[in-house]
Amino acid sequence: MKTILALEASSDLASVALWRNEGVFAGQEFASKRSLSADLFPVLERLLEGVPVIDTIVVGLGPGSYAGVRITIAAALGLQSVWGCDLVGIPSVAALGSVTESYQAIGDARRGTWYYSRVRDGLCEEGPLLLESAEKLRAALSRGVGPVRSSEALPPEWNSQMHAPKAAILAELAARSRGILQRSNLEPLYLREPHITVAALR
């Protein structure tokens, strides 16, 4: 009987879930704010009460909130050190719908850039990719099939449906060994180097 803990905090709505016997038996969603590092651990404490052991921890890797993904990875690493369990990472965009859906996932990567992924049955068949302009995003969408989804509100021109990534979907994907991108040494899917402003010399 395999028990899986899933953590997802790449969007404004964080979630955690426990999977066992082919289904989620416990979970919670909560706002992913600046206080996520303080909010996450009480949720985990309540969720894990009475759970003797976790066999696998799965974390949503983004793209999305860099801080949120880093916090969930850090929490997963700490718990892994206690349980000695497997640790895997799956792109958060693979959890914007059920494991049997096909869709295109997009997001604003800031400073005029966008990310794009084509998801089918819980697998990222393309991406996540960093696209350098709105024109390139339009071209990618024109080649893809299925509805357009995003974990944030976007301008109407993109005709995107808002869907927060769900820890429950990550847990199901991990249970099926689908979509796993990383193992053990997890890193966020941060698609470009951070922008650093250098102070002018005086």
Tell me what pLDDT residue 191 has: 65
Render pLDDT for 80-113 as a digit per residue (tens, 0 to 9): 999 999 999 999 999 999 999 999 999 999 889 9
Tell me what pLDDT residue 179 has: 94
Tell me: pLDDT of 136 over 90: yes
E strand spans, 13-169: 13-20, 23-31, 56-60, 86-90, 102-110, 113-120, 123-131, 148-150, 161-162
Q: And the tokens for 184?
A: 């053990």
Confirm whether 193 is domain-assigned: no
d(CA 59, CA 89): 5
Tell me what pLDDT residue 199 has: 54
d(CA 143, CA 125): 13
H helix intervals, 3-133: 36-48, 66-83
pLDDT band at 172 (very low <50, low <70, confident <90, very high): very high
Q: Are 168 and 158 within one domain?
A: no
Tell me what pLDDT residue 37 has: 81
**DSSP state for residue 52 in the 8-state scheme:** -
Q: Are 19 and 86 within one domain?
A: yes
In 3D space, the residue among 113, 8, 138, 119 whose CA is nearest the CA of residue 62 turns out to be 8
Q: Phi and psi at residue 92, in whole multiples of 5°?
A: -60, -30
Q: Are 10 and 26 within one domain?
A: yes
Tell me which residue range forms the domain holding 29: 4-92+164-183
Q: Is 55 exposed, middle or buried (0-12, 13-18, 19+ CB in 10 A)?
A: middle
In 3D space, the residue among 17, 14, 49, 16 whose CA is nearest the CA of residue 35 turns out to be 14
Q: Is 86 exposed, middle or buried (0-12, 13-18, 19+ CB in 10 A)?
A: middle
d(CA 15, CA 10): 10
Please state the domain count of the chain: 2
Percentage above 90 pLDDT, the chain: 82
Confirm whether 190 is domain-assigned: no
Do residues 59 and 186 make contact, with C-beta atoms less than 8 angstroms apart? Answer: yes
Q: Are 150 and 108 within one domain?
A: yes
Q: Are 25 and 83 within one domain?
A: yes
pLDDT band at 196 (very low <50, low <70, confident <90, very high): very low
